[in-house]
């Protein structure tokens, strides 16, 4: 049996007893990548020499924490010192960072081992992993299907058994939607729970780093390791970091769960709707109290999100100009020409589309009509969540309206592609935490259940997700790669 069929707890015991070593785990990861990544295409860069060296150094010391010696893959928009970080874009094809993101330093403190960097949609802009400049990642459950995006490489690597842990980032569903498509567990924590220092920004008021794993308990351990206040990020919150795994008792009697009628209405596929209803019955049998609720402004979330995120993207991506780092056009005649040609040649179509939309909505004469109005809608969406959380502990619904679609099926239809995030986007606008976990299959393709909690109450989400997971076996299913 593959070592990666084991849970984190079991691997930790094996490491403690010295029945396996950190180097064994690293070698297992590279072996599996060699076997399947030619088909899946999850990794962009591997760090074999450093990973093996770190594993050998850890061998003599024994595991200091439950995460010690465990290999992990990192989404390629999280900077890693001395390891290429491209954001899956031509404009950063040779960017070699001189510092680590805070989350990478925290993983180092926990003695985890970085295996390599994972493919994504360019600058995290996309829902299918098809906007990457380098390669299209494929869904391990069906290689003709997308893995979701933008953290598609992160989700596909876990589903394919290349690593048991990855980090992704979530701006409007970019951890949860690929987790649903690939049948794994993905957590988008509360905005501010994790430092964004060293995360290449797409939309600074929405982005959040989070863990992708095979099961809920492993996810809780990884989240705990990367949380906390960071003086390098003024938006990171000074709140206590609880022991998330400690509350995983399987006991949810009396927990109040709201199910938004909008999340099971028009546009949500029958398979997704039925799998969520079946999941709610499981939770009800375990003692949860379930009621229908309403998020009346969620229908405006998609429009507000694309205006706000594109506006922030147009500002954040202004730094990529061919002057300080990254790609530089060879054909420029003067400075202005250098800016124009570098950006025209270095950015892909989807990134250009969002820069143009954002620049337009921030421009004089349109700011009040678009950007400012979208911010007001965002406030109303947040209030909808606040109102429900006065009476309920969790909100539950599908993660995505359908299972993974075919590669190439929607890439030329941006509006349809954007609509794939309709169930995840409101969470980012409100800044609340949410998790996706497997809850069923449709023609052999995984479906995801989304659990949404109050600000800084990831504990309740993990508690309910663990109880559901213990009562079902969806998380034990593996793709036949």
Residues with active-site annotation: 75, 150, 174
What is the Cα–Cα distance from 87 to 77, expressed in whole angstroms?
5
Contact 30, 36 (CB under 8 A): no
What is the Cα–Cα distance from 145 to 235, expressed in whole angstroms?
36
What is the Cα–Cα distance from 450 to 447, expressed in whole angstroms?
10
Helix (H, G, I), strand (E, B) or coil at 142: strand
For 145, what's the count of Cα atoms within 13 Å in the CB-facing half-sphere? 19
For 344, residues 6+ apart whose C-beta sits below 8 A from its C-beta are 329, 352
Q: For residue 152, what are the β-bridge partners?
A: none
What is the Cα–Cα distance from 454 to 241, expressed in whole angstroms?
15
Contact 123, 102 (CB under 8 A): no
Overall size of the chain counted in residues: 481
Contact 105, 197 (CB under 8 A): no
Q: How many C-beta neighbours within 10 Å does residue 27 have? A: 17
What is the Cα–Cα distance from 67 to 24, expressed in whole angstroms?
15
Contact 178, 222 (CB under 8 A): no
Helix (H, G, I), strand (E, B) or coil at 442: strand
**Structure token digits, residue 28:** 């297992």
Please tell me the chain's helix, strand, coil percentages from 3-state DSSP, rounded to the nearest 5: 45, 15, 40
Find where tokens 């054909």 sit: 331
State how beta strands 256-260 and 289-293 pair: parallel
What is the Cα–Cα distance from 329 to 29, expressed in whole angstroms?
38
- Give the chain's end-to-end CA distance (angstroms, integer): 15
């Amino acid at each position: 049996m593959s070592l990666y069929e084991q849970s984190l707890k079991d691997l930790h015991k094996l490491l403690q007893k010295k029945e396996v070593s950190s180097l064994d785990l690293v070698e297992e990861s590279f072996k599996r990548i060699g076997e399947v990544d030619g088909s899946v295409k999850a990794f962009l860069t591997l760090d074999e020499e450093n990973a093996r060296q770190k594993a050998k150094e850890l061998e003599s010391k024994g595991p200091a924490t439950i995460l010690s010696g465990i290999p992990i893959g990192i989404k390629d928009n999280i900077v890693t010192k001395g390891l290429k970080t491209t954001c899956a874009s031509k404009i950063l094809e040779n960017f070699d960072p001189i510092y680590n993101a805070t989350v990478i330093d925290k993983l180092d403190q926990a003695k985890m081992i970085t295996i390599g960097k994972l493919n994504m949609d360019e600058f995290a802009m996309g829902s299918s992993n098809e906007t990457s400049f380098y390669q299209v990642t494929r869904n391990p459950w069906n290689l003709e299907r997308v893995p979701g995006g933008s953290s598609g490489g992160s989700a596909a690597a876990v589903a394919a058994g290349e690593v048991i842990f990855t980090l992704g980032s979530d701006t409007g569903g970019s951890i949860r939607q690929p987790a649903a498509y690939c049948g794994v567990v993905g957590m988008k924590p509360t905005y501010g729970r994790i430092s964004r220092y060293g995360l290449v920004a797409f939309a600074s008021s929405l982005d959040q780093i989070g863990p992708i794993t095979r099961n809920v308990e492993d996810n809780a351990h990884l989240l705990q390791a990367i949380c906390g206040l960071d003086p390098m990020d003024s938006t990171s919150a000074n709140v206590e970091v609880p022991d998330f795994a400690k509350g995983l008792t399987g006991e949810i009697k009396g927990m109040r769960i709201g199910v938004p009628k909008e999340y099971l209405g028009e546009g949500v596929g029958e398979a997704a709707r039925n799998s969520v209803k079946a999941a709610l019955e499981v939770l009800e049998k375990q003692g949860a109290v379930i009621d229908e609720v309403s998020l009346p402004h969620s229908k405006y979330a998609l429009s507000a999100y694309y205006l706000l995120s594109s506006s922030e993207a147009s500002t954040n991506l202004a730094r990529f100009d061919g002057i300080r780092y990254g790609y530089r056009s060879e054909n420029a005649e003067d400075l202005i020409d250098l800016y124009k040609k570098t950006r025209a040649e270095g950015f892909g179509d989807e990134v250009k589309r969002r820069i143009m939309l954002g620049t337009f909505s921030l421009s004089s004469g349109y700011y009040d009509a678009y950007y400012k109005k979208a911010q007001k809608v965002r406030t109303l969406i947040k209030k909808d969540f606040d109102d429900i959380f006065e009476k309920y502990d969790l909100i539950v619904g599908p993660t995505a309206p359908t299972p993974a679609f075919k590669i190439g099926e929607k890439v030329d239809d941006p509006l349809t592609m954007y609509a794939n995030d309709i169930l995840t986007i409101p969470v980012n606008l409100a800044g609340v935490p949410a998790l996706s976990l497997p809850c069923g299959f449709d023609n052999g393709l995984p479906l995801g259940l989304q659990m949404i909690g109050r600000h800084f109450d990831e504990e309740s989400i993990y508690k309910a997700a663990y109880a559901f997971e213990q009562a079902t076996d969806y998380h034990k299913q593996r793709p036949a790669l």
